[in-house]
Chains A and B, each alone.
Chain A
Amino acid sequence: MPVDHRRIQGPECSEDYRKPKTLDAALLKKGSRRADGRKCGEQRKIFLKPGVVSQAKGSAYIELDHTKVICSVFDPREKASRNLEQQTVRGEIFCEFKFASFSGVQRRSHQQEADDKEYSLLLKNALEPAVCLHEFPNFQVDVQVLVLQDDGSSLAAAITCAGLALADAAVPMYDLPVGLSKAFSGDTEFFDPTGAEERMCLRGVDGESDHGVFTIGFLPTFNQVSQLFHSGHISSDRFGKMISEVGTLAAEVHKAVQAILLSAVKSSIDSSDNSKLLL
């Protein structure tokens, strides 16, 4: 990996000084509650706010308890295509996804790491179906996503957050994309998993064959799945069932995001009316 010499270098890698937590099934406490007191199918409370970055064309901030993501969207600009052949009829969403160096227990590099690059692509693929790409041929809209704190479901949070930021930037869209994620191990399913639950389900518990984590990008108005990112081990029947279950939950989140956008638009109209009165 190339090193940026202009930056002050941190240690090459860092390790948590605390003992690694045992990733066992003990996360589920008595009465089938999760470690943070939620039920298995319960989502964390969402805090979502548009227009947090004043310099950006559009922006949004999302909090799922300890997962905190900020996203800003900038004006469309011409793609850097070298020749005519590379020019496209469609526009492009350019995503830069980054976990902040202090976002997790282990320190991360300032430069994009492999999973940052992977998540950038997954986010791009999740957002592009929602945007009217034909409205800005050969132009790209930059979407910058920074995960300030990562406690699971960060890709799902980023999809919802970037969707609202795009709408806040008045980028023409078909629908507001919504991201949701689910982790499962054996028969236990965790909706909107925390970091610990995600890690446990990615590896799987001994003796359980089915395990994994998946994130879905949803466009609820048109009932479309724009991204389906899964990693684990599961049979196709059960997976298909889980996808349709999550789909019904997407509509609720979608309504909430719409309400937030509506109130933001209303308040911006109100404030512009006031300024007219002052003039």
Chain B
Amino acid sequence: MADILLSEAEKTFILHGVRDNVRNDGRSCSEFRPIELELGLVENANGSARVRLANTDVLVAVKCEIDNPPSNFPDEGKLDFFVDCSANATPQFEGKGGEQLAVELAALMSRAYQTRESFNLSTLSIIKGMKCWKLCIDVLILECGGSLIDAISMGTKAALADTKIPKVSVIGSDEGTLELELADEADGREEPLDWHHAPCLVTLNKLEDSLLVDASAEEEACCAAALIVGVSPNKKITTTSIPGHGSFLADSKIFARALNLAVDVGVKLNTALEAAIKKHQTLKPPPRGFLD
């Protein structure tokens, strides 16, 4: 991810702490940093969420478009991920600097959502073989402070929870083309999506024999390897990836430990996120700016 430079002394300090299961900010190895979640900030999007994970800040917006369904799966809709690494986050992203990271993050997200068990695309179908909804999920990275993909996955799930798609009715057809009518927001005829099975991605960073959950940017700079695991609320793994130039010992015990830890943390994260979303949906907060 976005690299920062650390001296050997700083790295040793972090390493010694981790050996005693204490990290720089007082957490244990398997604890998350405080997470802030806000829903519905972007007025022109169908759904949006902002997640702040200590120093990591992402804004996710979902916009719906009407599109033609894929020819091999005529009764399904589409889900597209776009990640924008803004140069506001770090000067390294200037110009084409963030492109590679953006591709990696967007690909990981679409892999995690690929299975029907995570997100049922047939709910996005309007008319089989003719029209469907395409959800464009735009992720904007406002600040990079480690565990970027974890924050993005949380933001995406929350944004999908916030998304409501208008009901569509066919009012007629003209020479083979259909005329559709969208229900107004004012009609209240909007439907929420089925987002409950969406996965959360957990990054495990390997430092000596310890596995760090939710590493900060400084910790990421000391770690030899990382494993990203997508975990659905029903304890299943939807995607894995080993980013960067690290590798893991192919020992079944080490992998079993890593995967079980990831699933454990992922399920907890999913439950906490779902509770936060529910709470957010019941109380209507006054509109605020992004940055306060």
Q: Which residues of A contact B (CB under 8 A)?
A: 15, 20, 90, 114-115, 117-118, 121-122, 125, 128-129, 133, 202-204, 209-212, 214, 218-219, 223-237, 239-241, 243-244, 247
Contacts and interface: CB of A to CB of B under 8 A. Distances in A.
30 contacts: A20-B71, A114-B103, A114-B106, A114-B107, A117-B103, A121-B104, A121-B107, A125-B242, A128-B244, A129-B247, A209-B117, A214-B240, A223-B249, A223-B250, A223-B251, A225-B250, A225-B255, A228-B227, A228-B242, A228-B248, A231-B112, A231-B115, A232-B239, A233-B115, A235-B235, A236-B237, A236-B259, A239-B259, A241-B252, A244-B255
B243 interface: yes
A211 B244 CA distance: 27
A231 B250 contact: no
Nearest to B104: A121
A88 B262 CA distance: 32
B21 interface: no
Contacts of A234: 236-237
Interface of B is mostly: mixed
A125 B250 contact: no
B242 A239 contact: no
Contacts of B128: none
A152 B218 CA distance: 39
B72 interface: yes
A228 B235 contact: no
Contacts of B232: 233
Given A232-B238, A236-B263, A243-B252, A226 B114 contact: no
Contacts of A218: 250
Given A230-B240, A231-B239, A233-B115, 15 more contacts: A114-B103, A114-B106, A118-B103, A118-B104, A125-B244, A210-B236, A218-B250, A225-B248, A229-B240, A231-B238, A233-B118, A235-B236, A235-B237, A239-B237, A244-B250
Interface size class of B (residues with CB under 8 A): 35 or more
B241 interface: yes
Interface in B226-282: 227, 232, 235-252, 255-256, 259-260, 262-263
B248 A240 contact: no
A121 B237 CA distance: 21
B100 interface: yes
B111 interface: yes
A228 B241 contact: yes
A219 B247 contact: yes
A226 B112 CA distance: 20
B116 interface: yes
Interface string B39-64: 00000000000000000000000000
Contacts of B246: 129
A219 B248 CA distance: 10
B114 A247 contact: no
Contacts of B243: 125
Nearest to A235: B236
A228 B262 contact: no
Contacts of A232: 114-115, 237-239
Contact of B107 (A20, A90, A118, A247): A118
Nearest to B260: A236
A215 to B, nearest CB: 10
A125 B256 contact: no
Given A128-B245, A236-B263, A224 B115 contact: no
Contacts of A204: 115-117
Interface in B68-123: 71-72, 100, 103-104, 106-107, 111-112, 114-118
Contacts of B260: 236-237, 240
A176 B10 CA distance: 34
B103 to A, nearest CB: 5
A90 B235 CA distance: 38
Nearest to B243: A125
B125 to A, nearest CB: 16
Contacts of B239: 230-232
